[in-house]
Structure 1
């Protein structure tokens, strides 16, 4: 889940679907009486929402040339 710049994740619907699956999974675990697995799936959904919906594309890649200041 750490490579949020992967080409598979470019379409918004895929990122939303991944996060939604985690939250649905958490709900099913809670309804099934497994609160531990529900919390794990809920944490995965929260982390996915943070990475794929909030932070996606917000960080700019590092400048390969380094500092752009004039080095005279």
Structure 2
């Protein structure tokens, strides 16, 4: 699994964009009739939301 505290994810707009994209794609798949992909991307979106906004630690890595 990727490190959600990586410096790449430090800007807020990137964290929001990735989370919204995953949850939006899950909604699209649910409407289109793809329950497997909806659950998969929805889980990824929820994991990103948890990792980016609940437990995020913007440490300063060199």
TM range (shorter): 0.7 to 0.9
More helix, by proportion: 2
> Greater relative contact order: 1 or 2 (C-alpha under 8 angstroms, separation 6 or more)?
2
> Normalised by the size of structure 2, how large is the TM-score?
0.84
Unaligned ranges ≥5, structure 2: none
Which is higher, the Rg of structure 1 or of structure 2?
A: 1
How many residues get paired? Answer: 59
Moved over 4 A (4+): none
> Normalised by the size of structure 1, how large is the TM-score?
0.73
Query: Aligned Cα RMSD in Å?
Result: 1.7
Deviation of 1:37 after TM superposition, in Å, equals 0.8
